[in-house]
């Protein structure tokens, strides 16, 4: 399939080819973009990796640093020149977690379910695997390319992080990709990336999440009343789901102009992506995988609500949707 993307790109005369990840990119997004850049370079094409927001987690910063991944913040706040071709990796072209306008939406390689309207891509590979890294590993094999150590190590780290060390959303294709990557990866560098994922400031967020946590039936909800990086919000939700009493964990982070949230579930009758998407209908946007998802609520949706009442408002929204799942499961 990747050969079709290369052929389509060679038929164009773009200003620039841009590989665009979601905002605040994680290890899976950056390693997949790095691998796609390598594939395109092998075919004589030059592409730049761009992202909105920041690289905001220590493990991801290490990944970029030790492998010299040439990722750059998107130019002009994500407003690309009209002749640029945009290839979205680990995200989708009209997604709310992507700051990108201008340019031409050209292609998409992603492993997330689609919840919003899809652009008319020239090339599209949207297949639900444990990580986008799996799709890029398959593409390298398909092209018959050598697998450089830095690419293999980056992809393996991204695969491990997105599948939570192969305990979440894993498919047979991910296991095949693991075997390929493990044989070529630098285990010493991989171990280094696995260490020290938390920073001292993260402890404040963990303490706040514990302090404000409320539990209803088997749902745990908490509000961190200050801004947290996207990856940390997910880590807090993973931490909460480790409690024996919980089947769903929902973490909200209050930012200056929005609320960012992460959802985790181990309940067979609750799809986290669908649950988040449905709960935020009309007030924000969200989606993701069956076991983990994310969402966003703009300030305009809660501007008139006092800060001390926000948690009650959010709790009512998410518990009402959870009640719908309980009724469907009992039928």
Per-residue model confidence as pLDDT tens digits over 156-194:
999 999 999 999 989 999 999 999 999 999 999 999 998
Rounded to an integer, the average pLDDT of 294-323 is 93
Q: What is the pLDDT of residues 234-245, one digit of tens each?
A: 999 999 999 999
Question: What pLDDT is stored for residue 196 in this prediction?
Answer: 65
Which pLDDT band, with edges at 50, 70 and 90, does 259 fall under? Answer: very high
d(CA 44, CA 50): 19
Q: What share of the chain is helix, strand, coil (3-state, %, to 5)?
A: 45, 20, 35
Entry pTM: 0.85
Tokens of 281: 């209908």
Summary mean pLDDT of the chain: 93
Parallel/antiparallel/unpaired status of strands 47-51 and 71-73:
parallel
> 284-308 burial, b for 16+ CB within 10 Å, e for fewer?
bbbbbbbbbbbbbbeeebbeeeeee
In the predicted model, is pLDDT for residue 35 greater than 60?
Answer: yes
Which pLDDT band, with edges at 50, 70 and 90, does 195 fall under? Answer: confident
- N-term to C-term CA, the chain: 43
d(CA 215, CA 322): 13
Which pLDDT band, with edges at 50, 70 and 90, does 331 fall under? Answer: low
Instruction: Give the residue among 325, 222, 235 at the shortest CA–CA distance from 271.
Output: 325
Q: What is the pLDDT of residues 273-290, one digit of tens each?
A: 999 999 999 999 998 899
Question: What pLDDT is stored for residue 115 in this prediction?
Answer: 79
- Domain architecture of the chain: domains with CATH: 2-194 (3.90.1640.10), 202-330 (3.10.310.40)
Question: What pLDDT is stored for residue 2 in this prediction?
Answer: 94
Parallel/antiparallel/unpaired status of strands 219-224 and 214-216:
antiparallel
Task: Enumerate residues 6+ apart whose C-beta is below 8 A from 195.
Answer: none
């Amino acid at each position: 399939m990747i050969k079709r993307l290369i052929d389509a790109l060679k038929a164009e005369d773009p200003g620039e080819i841009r590989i665009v990840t979601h905002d605040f990119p994680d290890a899976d997004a950056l390693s997949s973009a790095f691998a796609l850049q390598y594939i395109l370079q092998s075919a004589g094409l030059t592409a730049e990796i761009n992202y909105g927001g920041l690289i905001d987690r220590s493990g991801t910063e290490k990944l970029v640093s030790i492998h010299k991944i040439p990722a750059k913040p998107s130019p002009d706040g994500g407003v690309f020149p009209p002749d640029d071709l945009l290839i979205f990796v680990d995200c989708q072209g009209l997604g709310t977690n992507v700051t990108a306008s201008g340019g031409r939406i050209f292609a998409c390689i992603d492993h997330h379910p689609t919840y919003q309207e899809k652009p008319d891509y020239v090339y599209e590979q949207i297949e639900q695997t444990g990580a986008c890294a799996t799709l890029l590993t398959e593409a390298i094999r398909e092209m018959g390319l050598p697998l450089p150590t830095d690419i293999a190590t980056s992809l393996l780290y991204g695969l491990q992080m997105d599948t939570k060390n192969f305990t979440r959303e894993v498919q047979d294709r991910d296991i095949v990709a693991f075997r390929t990557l493990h044989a070529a990866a630098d285990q010493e560098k991989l171990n280094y990336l696995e260490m020290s994922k938390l920073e001292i400031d993260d402890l404040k967020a963990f303490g706040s999440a514990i302090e404000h946590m409320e539990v209803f039936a088997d749902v745990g909800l908490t509000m961190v009343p200050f801004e947290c990086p996207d990856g940390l919000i997910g880590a807090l939700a993973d931490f909460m789901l480790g409690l024996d009493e919980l089947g769903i964990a929902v973490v909200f982070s209050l930012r200056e102009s929005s609320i960012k949230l992460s959802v985790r579930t181990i309940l067979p009758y609750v799809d986290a992506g669908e649950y988040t998407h449905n709960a935020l209908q009309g007030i924000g946007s969200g989606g993701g995988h069956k076991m983990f998802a994310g969402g966003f609520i703009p300030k305009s949706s809660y501007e008139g609500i006092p800060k001390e009442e926000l948690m009650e408002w959010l709790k009512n929204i998410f518990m009402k949707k959870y009640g719908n799942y309980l009724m469907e499961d009992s039928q």
